[in-house]
Amino acid sequence: MIGVGRLERYVVGVTLLGILTWLSVISAVVVLIQFVELSGQVGTRADVGAASILWLTLLRVPSLIQILLPIVFLFGGMSAYVGLNRRSELVAMRAAGISAWRFILPTAGCAFLLGVLAVGGLNPMAAGLNARFEMERERLMENYLGDQPRDIWLRQGDDTSQIVIHAKARDARGGSVTLRGVSLFIYEKNAQGIPEFRRRLEAAEATLLPGFWRLRNVREASAGDSSIRSDILTIRSSLDAEAAMERLASPETIPFWRLPSAIRLTEQAGFSAAGYRLRFQQLLSMPVLFAAMSILAAAFSLRLTRLGGLAGIAGVGVALGFVMFFLNQFAGALAKAGIIPLFAAAWAPGIVALLAGVTLLCYTEDG
């Protein structure tokens, strides 16, 4: 048992080294491509230097690498197993009567644990950097955009009321959210739960503070009544600064741990939370997808070198990995369009890849 344990640790170590190598290669390629793309998007439209473009690139890259991690695990696993094969180490393992399952399962388990770490640790960091990237890009492009309309819409609500907020500009610096040129449409729910319009507020500025909005230079109008002016007015809010910014951002910029609250607040406000729910399910399924890619890598790399055709089989494995990657993206697009259920779109790619890898291994290893 001690010898087998050492062997398993050795194979896992070789696989992790392959994953780390491919992560470095793909990261370098992503940085280069993203730098060139941002140079064309931002550099030609705003007066910024190479240092600012590089900073934007570094903010954006972690979220892109997170998307490509399944490919990293596939390529890293395949390079590790092919290396073991070419050094005849797999031949020695087979000659010792060791089943491939003895070292494939620990490797898949390690990939699963790395997926858990990626969801719990890497995703919040990447989401925060991605949100910072969008804010920095918007700031750099502000002069180029000029007076083009950038209207902002927010919505908050609870069991008794709903408020629709429209603003012409925002300022999210300093840890708070300030909106300018604000209109608030306040609805109250009747006995049947249907929102009915009650009043409208026009304010020069609205600042979101803990538990309420503080409005300046306010004009209040109710149905059938004359308008009332106020210098300062406060309105209760169910949002905090982070939740308000999340409403203005894509699901990819929201950390995994905040997605449940984002879903709840979005649905309370009467909006569809399909995008947030899909992102949450995709992150939950990520460890399964990583383990599936690890098993697929083994399935397409264990053919003995002396039997020939290893390069062709490995090429098929690479092609299948890209197919699974695009299937994952395509399923997400179908789910956002409401064509297939969110749960199926998030979990199907990982489960299909896992079943395909296990089936191929059963066929080649167990006959």
Q: What is the pLDDT, as a whole number, of residue 29? A: 92
C-alpha distances out from residue 298 to 310, 331, 353, Å: 12, 25, 12
Q: Which tokens hold the place of 178?
A: 């300030």
* Domain boundaries of the chain, sorted by first residue: 2-141+274-365, 159-237
pLDDT at 117: 93
Selection from 44-48, 83-87, 344-348, 361-365 with the highest mean pLDDT: 344-348
The better pLDDT of the pair 237, 14 is held by 14
| pLDDT class of 19 with cuts at 50, 70, 90 | very high
What 8-state DSSP symbol labels residue 159?
S
Query: Among candidates 214, 276, 215, 205, which has minimal Cα distance to 243?
Result: 276
Q: Distances in Å between the alpha carbon of 206 and those of 202, 232, 246, 247?
A: 10, 10, 17, 16
Structure tokens at 134: 């969008």
Buried b (16+ CB within 10 A) or exposed e, 31-62: beebbeebbeebbeebebeeebbebbbebbbb
pLDDT at 168 (0 to 100)? 76
Which among 328, 348, 290, 284 is positioned nearest to 77, based on CA atoms?
A: 290
Return the pLDDT at 155. Answer: 73
CA-wise closest residue to 345 among 290, 296, 289: 289
pLDDT at 114 over 90: yes
Give the SS3 label for residue 342. Answer: helix
Torsion on CA atoms 38, 44, 48, 51, rounded to nearest 10: 40
Q: In this predicted structure, what is the pLDDT of residue 110?
A: 92
pLDDT digits (tens, 9 = 90+) for 264-320: 777 765 666 778 888 899 899 999 999 999 988 888 777 654 455 556 666 776 777
173/241 Cα distance (integer angstroms): 10
Helix (H) or strand (E) holding 236: strand 228-236
Average pLDDT value for the chain: 79
Sheet strands (E) in the chain: 152-157, 161-167, 169-171, 177-189, 195-209, 212-222, 228-236
Give 1's pLDDT tier (boundaries 50, 70, 90).
very low
Winning range, highest mean pLDDT, from 135-149, 291-305, 313-327, 337-351? 337-351
Residue 43 has pLDDT above 70, yes or no: no
Per the CB < 8 A criterion, the answer to whether 349 and 357 are in contact is: no
Q: Is 124 in contact with 32 (CB distance < 8 Å)? A: no
pLDDT score at 243? 57
Average pLDDT score over residue span 99-116 = 88
Q: Which two tokens stand for residue 295?
A: 């098993």
Give the integer Cα–Cα distance in Å for 81 and 103: 11
- The CATH fold assigned to 159-237 is lipopolysaccharide transport protein A fold (2.60.450)
Query: CB–CB of 209/219 below 8 Å?
Result: no
